[in-house]
Amino acid sequence: MKDIILTGDRPTGRLHLGHYVGSLKNRVKMQNEASYEKMYVMIADSQALTDNFDNPGKIRENLVEVALDYLSVGLDPNKVTFFVQSQIPELTELTFYFLNLVTLSRLERNPTVKSEIKLRNFENSLPAGFLIYPVSQAADILLFDANIIPVGEDQEPMIEQAREIARSFNNIYGKTFVEPKAVLPEAKIARRMPGIDGGAKMSKSLGNAIYLADDKKTIKKKVMSMYTDPNHINIDDPGKVEGNIVFTYLDVFSKPEHFEKFLPDYENLDALKDHYRKGGLGDVKCKKFLIKVLEEELEPIRQRRMEYEKDLSKVFKILEEGTAKARKVGEEKVSQVKKAMGINYFEDTDLIKSLEEKYK
Ligand code: TRP
């Protein structure tokens, strides 16, 4: 069986370098490997509403931002089916049937949901829709028979719940779903890209993110304000590379040819690190190099974004066509589900016949 890959994002903001390193880059790589049968990328707007129900404008606004980010990093609508969650009613339908297979206490034990409840101060007024979003996420995955789910670590409990739901449904109603598998990024750094302020994970709410759509000036400003080694005060002081965000980013983004091109005094990153550790190398020089390295990566993305920004009707067409395609698949699956559950009354030609037998 060939793989069916599915991933998604909540449209709550523009995507940043953390998303890029943690998943978008890998999605583009997967898309080009062609060893899969289908690849879906979903904009999870219904899920985003579970904790933004009082601010729908934010979701509406960011739908197009996220779509632009997808297209600008090189996800290709000819290879990937993009779709919008809320426009597939079959997802809601499946969620409703799945809810019977999950207990409240199981939902309350989901570690990601648990920490999100705290984070959002939902302890005393937990919206039911928020608590059950893992069930809706299981529907996202299972409706499309997706078996490979590339996600971050925090999403593992969601995939585990989807597996349990699939198993439970199959046990009760007969084999209908495949059990999906979470695929985590290999590189450790990709699992937790730090923000420009140091230790914490890059995130919109912490205000420490570099966005894919940031312009050149903003990138420059953000890199210049980056956390380095607080004890590296004078150029001649020995510096620390570990925990120094400039070097963390160089680890991720710099390539050997960047040294030749922008910093020919150093053979490679190790040579630059050695000099920094010994002392005699200033932060500004390293930061200026990082700006050039990031620009190499981000400029083509920015260009592609600008092209799509000029043609928004094309962007919406891509979403609409992808959604229509996904919906066909979803309709097919739901009719299978209803048949398995015996609630396909009007499609079941044998039903009347067998009743006639009974009432003869
Ligand atoms: N919960 C995911 C996130 O917050 C988004 C998401 C929704 C998702 N449905 C999905 C991811 C299905 C993978 C598969 O990032």
What is the tens place of the pLDDT at every residue in 276-307? 999 999 999 999 999 999 999 999 999 999 99
Same domain for 105 and 75:
yes
Q: How many angstroms does the Cα of residue 149 sit away from the middle of ligand 1?
A: 9
254 is an annotated ligand-binding site residue:
no
| pLDDT for res 186 | 79
What per-residue confidence (pLDDT) applies to 201?
Answer: 83
Give me the CATH number covering residue 339: 3.40.50.620
DSSP 40: E
Determine the atom of ligand 1 nearest the C-alpha atom of 47.
Answer: 7
**pLDDT beyond 80 at 190:** no
Q: How many CA atoms lie within 13 A of 271 on its CB side?
A: 9
Instruction: Work out which ligand 1 atom sits closest to the CA atom of 146.
Output: 14
**51 annotated as ligand-binding:** no
Confidence of residue 132 (pLDDT cuts 50, 70, 90): very high
pLDDT exceeds cutoff 90 at 141: yes
Task: Report the pLDDT value the prediction gives residue 206, as an integer from 0 to 100.
Answer: 86
State the average pLDDT over residues 126-151.
96
What is the domain extent for residue 121?
3-192+313-355
* Ligand 1, pocket residues at CB < 6 Å: 6-10, 44, 47, 137, 140-141, 149, 151, 155
Same domain, 126 and 255: no
- Find the 156 Cα to ligand 1 centroid distance in Å: 10
Q: Which is higher by pLDDT, 350 or 146? A: 146
Annotation-wise, does 45 bind a ligand? no
Q: Is 153 flagged in the annotation as binding?
A: yes
The whole-number pLDDT of residue 205 equals 81
pLDDT tens sequence across 8-57:
999 999 999 999 998 899 999 999 997 899 999 999 999 999 999 999 99
Is the domain of 8 the same as that of 44? yes
Tell whether 197 is covered by a domain.
Answer: no
Please tell me the distance from the alpha carbon of residue 40 to that of residue 22, in angstroms, as a whole number: 17
Do residues 161 and 102 touch, judged by C-beta distance below 8 A?
yes
Residues 39 and 171 grouped into a single domain: yes
Q: Give yes or no: residues 90 and 47 share one domain.
A: yes
Q: Are residues 168 and 145 in the same domain?
A: yes
Residue bearing the CA closest to ligand 1, atom 9:
137
Q: Say if 185 falls within a structural domain.
A: yes
C-alpha distances in angstroms, 152 versus 173, 182, 340, 347?
31, 9, 33, 41
3-state secondary structure 181-245: EEECCCCHHHHCCECCCCCCECCCCCCCCCECCCCHHHHHHHHHCCCCCCCCCCCCCCCCCCCCH
Say whether pLDDT at 209 is over 80: yes
Tell whether 56 and 77 lie within a shared domain: yes
- b/e string for 330-358 if b means 16 or more Cβ within 10 A? beebbeebbebeeeeeeeeeeeeeeeeee
Same domain, 89 and 142: yes
How confident is the model over 307-325, as pLDDT tens digits?
A: 999 999 999 999 999 999 9
Task: Give the closest residue (by CA) to ligand 1 atom 13.
Answer: 7
Sequence-separated (6 or more) residues with CB below 8 Å from residue 150: 5, 7, 23, 26, 27, 30, 182, 183, 184, 185
Residue among 49, 78, 79 nearest 63 (CA): 49
pLDDT tops 80 at residue 199: no
- The per-residue pLDDT for range 76-128, each reduced to its tens digit, is 999 999 999 999 999 999 999 999 999 999 999 999 999 999 988 888 899 99
Residue 9 is assigned to a structural domain of this protein: yes
- Ligand 1 atom, smallest distance to 152 CA: 15
Are 18 and 49 within one domain? Answer: yes
Q: Look at residue 188 and tell me whether its pLDDT is greater than 80.
A: no
Shortest CA distance to 228 belongs to which of 277, 184, 294, 155? 277
pLDDT beyond 90 at 343: yes
24 and 116, same domain (yes or no): yes
Residue 73 has pLDDT above 90, yes or no: yes
**CATH number of the structural domain spanning residue 291:** 1.10.240.10
Three-state SS at 97? helix
Structural domain count, the chain: 2
Q: Is 35 annotated as a binding residue?
A: no
